[in-house]
Amino acid sequence: MNEVGASPRYQNDAPLIVKADGSTEAFVLDRLIQSLIRAGAGPHTAERIATQIESSVAPGSASKEIYSRAFALLRKEGRPIAARYALRRALFEFGPSGHPFEDFVSHLFRADGWNVETRKIMQGKCVAHEVDFYATKGKEYLAAELKYHNDPAYKTDVKVALYVKARFEDIWRYLTLKDVVEAFPKLRLPSGEKKYWRRALNTWGYHV
C-alpha cells in the first residue's frame, strides 16, 4: 500500500467509473483505501477490502455501487467503523428541505455549550434577513448560512457565496456606532480589518 501522502496508484487499464454528477474518472485503488482508513479501518483491512472491490469493478460502474459494496464488507469488520464510513450518505437522509440539517448543526453546537438560535430574523440596513444559524458563547458570536443538498451531484456555486456575503454586509451596516463599540471585542474579523476598525473608533473617541 502507498505511504500516506504519496501519489495514488493509477493503473493503465483502470476502468472508468461514473460519479454521482454523471462524469467519469478512472478507478483509483488508493483513494478507496484511504477513505476506508479515514473511517477507522486498519491499513491491512482497508487494503484487503479495496482489493476485493477492485476485482469486481467493471467499466461504467457507478461510484455509489462501489461505496455500497465497500460498506457491506466494512460492516462485517465492525459496525462503528461502518457507521463512520456511512456518515456522508446518512446526511443525505435529512432532506429534502434544509431545516433538519440546520437543527442537527444547532444540536452539535449546543452540546459544546453554545446558545443557538436557528432561522433568526435580523434587521439589515435595507431589509430584514433570516439567518440560518446564530450562536453565542461567552464573548464569541457566530452567524452562518447553512446550505444542504441531498443530491450529491448538486454544487453550491460562487453566486451563493456572494449573496450570503452581501446579506451579512447589510446586517453589519445596520449597526449603530454604539452597537459597533459594544460588540467590537467579541467580533471575529480578519486581523487587518479589525485593526482598521480599532483605529477609526479610537479616532472618533471610542477606545476599544
Domains and CATH numbers, the chain: 16-85 (no CATH), 94-203 (3.40.1350.10)
Q: What is the mean pLDDT of residues 60-83?
A: 81
Q: What pLDDT score was predicted for residue 168? A: 87
Does residue 64 contact residue 57 with C-beta atoms inside 8 Å?
no
Residue type, 59: P
Q: What are phi and psi of 78, to 5 degrees?
A: 165, 130
* Closest residue by Cα to residue 58 from 17, 99, 100, 19: 17
- Kindly report, residue by residue over 112-148, the tens digit of the pLDDT: 999 999 999 988 888 889 999 999 998 788 899 998 8
> Which residues, in sequence order, are CB contacts of 100 under 8 Å at separation 6+?
94
Residues 6+ apart with CB under 8 A from 133: 102, 105, 106, 109, 116, 117, 118, 142, 143, 144, 145, 146
CA distance 133 to 148: 13
CA gap 142, 41 in Å, rounded: 35
Helix (H, G, I), strand (E, B) or coil at 131: strand
Of residues 96 and 56, the one with the higher pLDDT is 56
The most confident of 11-25, 133-147, 150-164, 172-186, by mean pLDDT = 133-147
DSSP state of 19: -
Average pLDDT over the chain, rounded to whole?
82
Give the count of alpha carbons within 13 A of 185, CB side only: 6
Which whole number is the average pLDDT over 183-198?
Answer: 79
Q: Evaluate the omega torsion of the peptide bond into residue 96 and state whether it is cis, within 30 degrees of 0.
A: yes
Q: Which of these, 60, 70, 65, lies nearest to 31 by C-alpha position?
A: 70
Interval 18-62: pLDDT, tens: 887 788 889 988 888 888 888 778 888 889 999 999 988 989 998
pLDDT at 106: 94
Which one, of 3, 18, 75, lies nearest residue 41 by Cα?
75
